[in-house]
Structure 1
Amino acid sequence: MNNFSIISSLLDNDFYKFTMQNAVIKLFPFAKAKYEFINRGKHFFPKNFDKILKENLNKMAYLKLSKEERVFLEKNCPYLDSSYLDFLNKYRYNPKEVNIYQKGKNIKMNIEGLWSSTILWEVPLMAIISELYYKLTGIKPISDKKIIILTKNKIKKYKKLQVKIGEYGTRRRYSYQVHKLVLKILKKEGYPFFIGSSNVHFSHIFSIKPIGTQGHEWIMFHAAKYGFNIADRIAMENWLHIYNGNLGIALSDTFTSPIFFKNFNKKLSNIFKGVRHDSGNPISFIKETIKHYKKFKINPIKKKIIFSDNLNPYKVAYISSFCKKKIIPFFGIGSNFTNDIGYPSMNIVIKMVKALPEKKWISVIKLSNVKEKNTGKKNVIFLAKKILHI
């Protein structure tokens, strides 16, 4: 167990972490961030879990970008410029940024440091926690053979629906090996409907396109710096400034979708290729998005919605049939690919809780379209709702 390293590549992470890191270095190089582990599923952790977790974390300090990995990024992500790739060459995980302690069966964890440095921790840490949890609690998956059959059946359904799908399951995967197995099948059987993975390491291994844009923390930080009312808009404008229309999917639910649409003005609605739905009723969201585009005389059939909220074949069928001839749907499928092993997957998150844009720490929050996905201090959530008239 102790010789086993769960994360073996610097790129075993979600693509949007690297795209955000690039933007952070260029626009907010001195900003700091604090993150916290949130055990939404109230999982009980076995004895000494914190120690084994720390061992894995310490090993990550030795990871570095290989020459082949750099070449892969240069070829497949031309919008990540050489100054960023030089930074990534020198980047090393710093385990001192992560503080873990265990009290009984509960794990507490926080991360603190320069935003440009701490931003890469969240996804691999969650993948490690998930894999260790199953190993140490003795939860065995179904056989590889069954995983292969299950995955093939899902692909058949998606092919029948003729929908474009991506794999987004790094953070809550059962294990590295299960993740790898699933992607092998997706690559082999998924053409032309499987469009890529959010995991950059596996994208490299299987020669597929890494997919993703930005996460909620990008907009949460902008709220700390510029205020809740205009955070969405300035976050999108800054994104355009860095990426010139590449990676053009806007995230719509950091401070609820109605607030996002108020910020998503005509210029932004035209330039961005589409929006991402990550919480709330998908059908209401589709209607809201179409109405928004039509208001600006933009044809919605030329725009995309990326759905990424806890999907499975049944939900995908339901959503895609509603989108027909209205707007283009894409689906980012997470744990239903990488952790469909006969047990419920873990319900854990790591979220930014504070940001230091300049001189003082400011609490950050997320106001999702569903209450369960809100994060941050209650008093700050209350204040934000008041300011935003929610």
Structure 2
Amino acid sequence: MSTSFQPVIHSLLETDLYKFTMWQALLHRFPTNQSEYRFVCRNPPTFALATLADEVNQQLDWLCSLRFAPDELSYLAQLRYIKPDFVQFLRIFQLHRPFIEACAEGEHLVITAKGPQVHVLPFEIYVLAIVNELYFRRMAVPDMGVGRQRLKDKIQLLRDALAQSPRRHAFSLADFGLRRRFSGEWHDEVVATLKAELPEHFGGTSNVHLAQKHGLAPIGTMAHEYLQTFQSVGVQLKQFQKAAFEAWVQEYRGDLGIALTDVVGMDAFLADFDLYFAKLFDGLRHDSGDPFVWGEKALAHYAKLRIDAHSKRLTFSDSLDMPKAIALYQHFGDRVQTGFGIGTNLTNDVGPEPLHIVMKLVRCNDQPVAKLADSPGKTLCEDDTFLAYLRQVFDKHD
């Protein structure tokens, strides 16, 4: 490692909470799963990401040398839904370099993590943070005063809106911006600013390291990969969502009760989300499709099941900015509890155009898996035959 090397990731705690919660559940349920994750950039970058390959590999070498520190393990252990055996697993855990490869193919940066799922699942968030920060290090340093002013304007916009149009339920904001942040330093400043300026409305952050550092609640439950895993573990495909939710309920027994709805679309989700699950889960998370339509469908479903919507929470997290979050709050805030997870617009709104990068589960146990999101650009699968079959099973047309 050269003397000029500057690590992007300094702690294995610097990942999203839902990585730990999914990790624990899958370790307990499917410890022998084999899986493959791949990196994708969905928008055209300013320069070819392939030129970052060598630096990415240096960062991966460093990442795979890290271990959880005693104080980090103690922090995780005091979260009541994190179980002692999982903490002991993390005590000896280390990411293994042979399980991940990064290389240039033409102008494209190709990153693949392949191996035991409980060993390759954690790579995703670290890789996305690494690629983002290396990418923006190559650019001219922006005037961070611009970013600070934009953040200040968003805070003031929210204050004005809440003063003018209060609703029955409180406005709750969370930072979901680790994956596509401008830099770790800026992310830290954004979280500290939100905590100081919006103490009544800033509920916490998905970044577990920053939650520990700033005394905030770590926020997150499940992501698509958790439900997609159940497409490949011997469950009848039509039943995979029910199997995933049942396993979650058994693992967390009342904690972490926000269900993700768009792995095969909201309509297919609601068909599976019967009275049993609707009572057991505290609410739902939106991540694709029209959020207003989605929210109305959710409220209609609760009404159909004769469940008081005021006891439930709708969490919005799809490409949110502050004006959209405010509009959603004004629309739903008198009828249901709401939460708003804002990511890129908080942690990467400093001037340069952000990258739209993801690293997704593509295969598990040597079978393809897929997501049929309610937004066309978010559907992801490398096997057209399986994708067509999944559409047929859930009667979801392209």
TM-score tier, shorter chain, comes to over 0.9
Structure 2 stretches lacking a partner, 5+ long: 163-170
Pick closer, same or farther for the CA change 1:129–1:295 going to 2, 3 Å.
Answer: same
Pick closer, same or farther for the CA change 1:110–1:327 going to 2, 3 Å.
Answer: same
1:364 — aligned with what?
Answer: 369
* Structure-2 separation of matches of 1:126 and 1:70: 23
Pick closer, same or farther for the CA change 1:161–1:234 going to 2, 3 Å.
Answer: farther
Give the alignment's TM-score, normalised by structure 1.
0.95
Contact kept in structure 2, 1:300 and 1:327, CA below 8 Å: yes
Q: How does 1:66-77 map to 2 (within 5 A)?
A: 66-75=69-78, 77=79
Contact kept in structure 2, 1:158 and 1:193, CA below 8 Å: no
Contact kept in structure 2, 1:355 and 1:362, CA below 8 Å: yes
Contact kept in structure 2, 1:45 and 1:133, CA below 8 Å: no
Pick closer, same or farther for the CA change 1:46–1:284 going to 2, 3 Å.
Answer: closer
**Cα distance, 1:88 vs structure 2:** 0.9
**SS of residue in 2 equivalent to 1:230:** helix
The residue type equivalent to 1:287 in the other structure is: E
* Structure-2 separation of matches of 1:123 and 1:47: 19
**SS of residue in 2 equivalent to 1:223:** coil
RMSD between aligned residues = 1.4
Give the alignment's TM-score, normalised by structure 2.
0.93
**SS of residue in 1 equivalent to 2:190:** helix
Q: How does 1:48-59 map to 2 (within 5 A)?
A: 48-59=51-62
**Cα distance, 1:141 vs structure 2:** 2.7
2:226 counterpart of 1:255: no
2:310 counterpart of 1:308: no
* Structure-1 separation of matches of 2:80 and 2:112: 33
Contact kept in structure 2, 1:166 and 1:194, CA below 8 Å: yes
* Structure-1 separation of matches of 2:304 and 2:253: 24
The residue type equivalent to 2:142 in the other structure is: P
2:157 counterpart of 1:154: no
The residue type equivalent to 2:348 in the other structure is: N
**Cα distance, 1:380 vs structure 2:** 1.8
Pick closer, same or farther for the CA change 1:17–1:47 going to 2, 3 Å.
Answer: closer
**SS of residue in 1 equivalent to 2:237:** coil
2:27 counterpart of 1:25: yes
* Structure-2 separation of matches of 1:126 and 1:119: 13
Contact kept in structure 2, 1:277 and 1:308, CA below 8 Å: yes
Match of 1:190 among 186, 198, 203: 198
**Cα distance, 1:47 vs structure 2:** 6.2
1:239 — aligned with what?
Answer: 248
- Superposed CA deviations along residues 61-86 of structure 1, whole A, max 9, x for unmatched, are 221111211222223x1110111111
* Structure-1 separation of matches of 2:250 and 2:386: 29
**Cα distance, 1:159 vs structure 2:** 3.5
Pick closer, same or farther for the CA change 1:47–1:388 going to 2, 3 Å.
Answer: closer
The residue type equivalent to 1:57 in the other structure is: L
Structure 1 stretches lacking a partner, 5+ long: none
* Structure-1 separation of matches of 2:61 and 2:237: 37
* Structure-1 separation of matches of 2:88 and 2:157: 42
- Superposed CA deviations along residues 301-333 of structure 1, whole A, max 9, x for unmatched, are 211011000011111121111103211110000
Contact kept in structure 2, 1:159 and 1:193, CA below 8 Å: no
- Superposed CA deviations along residues 108-163 of structure 1, whole A, max 9, x for unmatched, are 11110111111110011001001111112x243332x3323322322233344442
2:18 counterpart of 1:16: yes
- Superposed CA deviations along residues 168-194 of structure 1, whole A, max 9, x for unmatched, are 000000111111111110121120100
**Cα distance, 1:48 vs structure 2:** 4.2
2:287 counterpart of 1:274: no
Match of 2:85 among 80, 83, 92: 83
Match of 1:382 among 388, 392, 396: 388
2:44 — aligned with what?
Answer: 42
**SS of residue in 2 equivalent to 1:238:** helix
Pick closer, same or farther for the CA change 1:35–1:241 going to 2, 3 Å.
Answer: same
2:167 — aligned with what?
Answer: none
Contact kept in structure 2, 1:14 and 1:199, CA below 8 Å: yes
2:6 counterpart of 1:4: yes
Contact kept in structure 2, 1:228 and 1:388, CA below 8 Å: no
* Structure-1 separation of matches of 2:101 and 2:287: 29
Contact kept in structure 1, 2:50 and 2:109, CA below 8 Å: no
* Structure-2 separation of matches of 1:195 and 1:99: 36
The residue type equivalent to 2:353 in the other structure is: P
Match of 2:102 among 94, 100, 109: 100
Match of 1:214 among 194, 219, 222: 222
Contact kept in structure 1, 2:147 and 2:351, CA below 8 Å: no
Pick closer, same or farther for the CA change 1:147–1:25 going to 2, 3 Å.
Answer: same
Aligned residues: 383
Identity of aligned residues (%): 28
The residue type equivalent to 1:31 in the other structure is: N
**SS of residue in 2 equivalent to 1:92:** coil
